[in-house]
Structure 1
Amino acid sequence: MTLASPFSTPLSLCGPLRQPRQMLAEQTYDGHKSIHDDATAENLGLRAGPIEGPTHFSQFDPLLVQVFGQQWFETGCISAHYQTMVVEGESVRAFVEQPTPGATFVRIHAEKADGTPVLTGTASVGASTQPHELEQRIAKLRPPTGLVINRDLKVGQRGAAPETIRMGFHQHMGDHYPFTLADKLKVITEPCPWYTPEGGAQSPWGRPIIPTEMISVLLGSTTMEAKLKGRSPAVGLFAGQQIRLIQGPLFVDQDYALEREIIALSESARTESAWIRTRVFELPSRTLVAEMILNSAVMKASYPHYERDARELGLTV
């Protein structure tokens, strides 16, 4: 017989320290390197090109499967605000709050070996009755008053073109993601046979599934087609991200259609942000299977015309 604990102290599951790999050093867009390139990052005052935020999502998958079981890959939602950049060679550990019996919503966080926070957020399965991390942050946003780079964007603006995507094991995902799923699976921090051609056939769905972190790659590979971006040239970064499966998992070699919409605009001292929701429909049925919310931030210091344009707009910089 298990004795019910007399304590109300919140406890967490934690994973091992991992050293995620940098996969985006050669990423380009608008004809220039991204923040993940060391030289570009150093020009913006960073010590090296950071690892892409959703890379850390893989470290949560084993913990969330432990908490929620197979349902994590079918109706799971992970929502994270990125706090500190991580460069290759640094170690990171993931933490998931242990839920009370029957609970389907938990807090999550990740930190470096020295305790430096990497991200904070929430995770759930099924229809959540609580707002997730990014939803809470969007609700607290104040209307921006000094947009320069993103001044042409509007809340409610939709993607300019229909996007159809798929991810094969050896499919190059374009300049935005200059690697393949097979490349990622060689270095992913948490390998799983369900991600592979051989093991996928033995998965509960009889097919290989796309890892949570690679859903971001799948949905981001055609983002330039949507034309939901501000003035250029400018260097962007992910400031926060939410991936929600509605009828998951997402599968390798499956066609999907995307619809994008700006749901909020915001600004900080150093960045301007477009918060974009991407809805994912399985083809040919057009069944809604997933959604992503991305806080796509751009660094003011990376836009060479920022001060000139701000003055022309009557803004104080």
Structure 2
Amino acid sequence: MLDEKVFRSEDVPPADRFDYWVELLGRTHAPMDLRSDCADDFRASQRVLDLGAVTVWPATFQPLTFRRTPKLIRRSDPETYHLSLIVRGSGAGVWGHRETEYKPYDLHINSSSLAYDVHSSGNSVTMVGLEVPRALLPLPRDAADQVVGAPVSAREGVGALLARFLTHLTADTAPYLPSDGPRLGTVLTDLVAGLFAHILEAGDSLPPETHQRTLTLRIKAFIRERLPDPHLTPATIAAAHHISTSYLHRLFRDEDTTVAARIRRLRLEAARRDLTDPALQATPVHTIAARWGFPRATDFSRAYRTAYGATPTDHRHQALHGHE
């Protein structure tokens, strides 16, 4: 299981609940001025998942006003971007001249370096928070700050891809090892960077090297979204992005693997997660293989053995049943 801390307001005396949660949220995100009409008997729950440099925190809480002032920023700024996937509830945020309303299945983007007022409404709010250090996103600060407060739907495109990953991850952390945390954090960082690049559309105001980097991030997100497609190849990826295959390979020249090797590795990682998931132990190996873009069972078995040193069947049995 991933490293996880849990807070439930009912575990704290009513008079202490709000202040305790304010302190916890300040450690998770950044110091804020929080106010609530329900402060006398505040109800909230929160889990904090440690994914290396990245933090994910699903939470449910009563209506709040979050305020981050210039004074608080000067006092402490972890220099992170915060994304909230709104599952239930609504509200609005104000950043200088920009004001944005949000509703369920919107992604709300914020920055610890900018002053804001965010107000939640309804009986309660359920969300999944995501903290990513600004230094991990390969975009100029002035360009990336343009996404703060921008309305983003989690129902389609890269926003939906990020939302699906977050909801699947937080629904059940049992299948993951603590050592998986930093790797999952890297995946989330790539998805956030791809989302930012999508929002910005990498326009003419960005330098050529930034344009190339954001295009690469968009392609990475495209690959993850279409892993089950057995026809996903460098040629189809290049065509979908209106570039040549040779230019696609040049974009990935500084990456750790080629485009084809990246596709194969991500497919194998996804298949491995399914094979070691107790909830899927009745699903045939060939079905899982086909689900992740391996229509030929022999090709899948050969690639899996090469990557992990065991056949898919043997690896599944060992993961689910040990050495019995």
Q: Rg larger in 1 or in 2?
A: 2
TM-score bracket for this pair, using the shorter chain length = under 0.3
User: Which structure is higher in strand share?
Assistant: 1
So what's the TM-score if we normalise by structure 2?
0.23
Higher relative contact order (CA 8 A, sep 6+): 1
